[in-house]
Chains A and B, each alone.
Chain A
Amino acid sequence: MYDKKLMREIQQLGFAALDLNLYLDTHPDCKKAISDYNVIQRQYENKRRMYELNVGPLVNFGMSPSKYPWEWLDGPWPWENE
């Protein structure tokens, strides 16, 4: 079942990872940012794995496993109200 709280955490971690990624593209020698990035990356991966186990796949085309029947089609889709 859809988990709003877990999804918020994924959104927050994903946002932080994206921002650190863009910062590092222009500051590739910043040790602090790389260490922050790696901390966030691990938390993000853990939360995503938890979401995929409890709710369903987040990414198509071979990035997430599926139970039976094919889980990718299950709602809610991102444009549907939670």
Chain B
Amino acid sequence: MWLYEKRLQFPVNIKKKDLRMAGLLVTQYGGPDGELGAAIRYLNQRYAMPTNKTKGLLTDIGTEEWVPWGYPLFSIILLALTKLVYI
């Protein structure tokens, strides 16, 4: 199971609206090649792994893609870049 940590992994400091940059980020956010898709793939693939090393590695990279980067940091950068949408 996963817990929420009430902080960002990395400080975000965006000074002005930039819709073009936000558009580029959206393509990495969802979709087949996005962060969330990668995270879910790692977390599902780990069930088929034969060794503890690969089970552990996929658990960790799946968590890392999804939790600290994939979702909170990404959505906050988008929010700051657009100041319009809440994702």
Contact = CB atoms under 8 A, between A and B. Distances in A.
A78 B7 contact: yes
Contacts, number: 52
Interface residues of B, number: 20
Contact of B60 (A7, A8, A25): A25
B57 A26 contact: yes
Interface size class of A (residues with CB under 8 A): 20 to 34
A58 B8 CA distance: 11
B53 to A, nearest CB: 7
Interface string B47-87: 00000010011001100100010001001100100000000
Interface string A40-53: 00000000000000
B33 interface: no
Interface of A: 7-8, 10-11, 14-15, 18, 21-22, 25-26, 28, 56-61, 63, 72, 77-79
